[in-house]
Amino acid sequence: MHLIELGIVQEHKQALIDAIARLEDASDGESAWFKHYVLKGETIWQATSTISHSWFWKSVITIKDMLVQLAGVNKTAEEVLAECTRHGKFQVSLLYQRIRPKGDDVGWYRAIHDRAVLPKHAVIVILACQNKLYAIDNLQHRGFCFANRCVLCEKEEETTAHLFFACSFSSWVWVAAYRRMGHFDPPNTLPQVLRWFALYNRGAAIGKAMRRCLLACTIYLIWRERNDRIFQDKRTDPQALSQKICYVVSTRMYYLAK
């Protein structure tokens, strides 16, 4: 095992996996030294780490434990390693694919994954879906003391769900923008519209692109209107905002169609 080589890239998880695989092989002198002085007669599968060990060694043991866990009761970790070969050669990438953490399938990905959606719009949609926008209720949860009043309708408390859908101002904008663009069915909640995009968004590519662009643009411009009111004391009425949404979407679609 080439410890120096691994030391250079020791923060890379694949290098740690490679370290374990090479320890199994142990055909070079450095591996023999490592086995004698670090493993002290144990196999890598028996080895443990203590608080006094180096970060590198503790990381190797963590990966080893993940391999053992992946193998379960019906296989050995060595058999898992043996399965990660291509043309008879061990492939670190194959093993990494098996042990890497896998995230949940997120519906909003399909709703915004389109070149019609501007990146700055997509970012706001993602943050809204993850409830990570700094709406007043989120700031209050982080310990900031603000009076919670929605600046768009000036009636209800501001939450992400209220701001984009329940708010009377936003509802008016959604309906007006969707009607102008030939749709009569604006969404009522974020989970609802994202589920619809994930399951039923079929038809011509240009239609799908426009719906995605319209969704992301509406959310982005509602959020920007909220920020303009708070930070710049600038206000746009809902009719003008819906017109602006249609203008941005139409311009974007025209640009893509060229």
Of the two residues 81 and 128, which places its CB atom closer to Zn ion in the complex?
Answer: 128
At closest approach, how far in Å is the CB of 136 from Zn ion? 11
Least gap, CB of 152 to Zn ion (angstroms):
4
Which of 150, 173, 210, 246 is the binder for Zn ion (CB under 5 A)? Answer: 150
Alpha carbons 184 and 156: distance in angstroms, whole number: 26
Check binding of 136 to Zn ion (CB under 5 A): no
Sign of CA pseudo-dihedral 252, 254, 257, 258? negative
Alpha carbon separation from 67 to 6, 79, 95, 256, 258 (Å, rounded):
19, 10, 9, 47, 52
DSSP, collapsed to helix, strand or coil, labels residue 89 as strand
249 binding Zn ion? (CB under 5 A) = no
Site for Zn ion (CB under 5 A): which residue of 129, 152, 219, 245? Answer: 152
For Zn ion, which residue of 44, 124, 135, 167 counts as binding (CB under 5 A)?
167
Q: Total binding residues for Zn ion by CB under 5 A? A: 5
What are the CA-CA distances from residue 219 to residues 85, 117, 122, 189, 242 (Å)?
A: 47, 12, 9, 12, 11
Cβ contacts of residue 87 below 8 Å, gap of 6+?
A: none
173 touching Zn ion, by CB under 5 A: no
Closest to Zn ion by CB, 197 or 220: 220
CA atoms of 30 and 200, how far apart (whole Å) = 58
Residue 153 lies near Zn ion (rule: CB under 5 A): yes
Only one of the segments 33-41, 57-65, 143-151, 213-221 lies at the binding site for Zn ion (rule: CB under 5 A); that segment is 143-151
Task: Please tell me the distance from the alpha carbon of residue 231 to that of residue 143, in angstroms, as a whole number.
Answer: 20
Only one of the segments 100-108, 126-134, 166-174, 215-223 lies at the binding site for Zn ion (rule: CB under 5 A); that segment is: 166-174
Enumerate binding residues for Zn ion (CB under 5 A).
150, 152-153, 156, 167
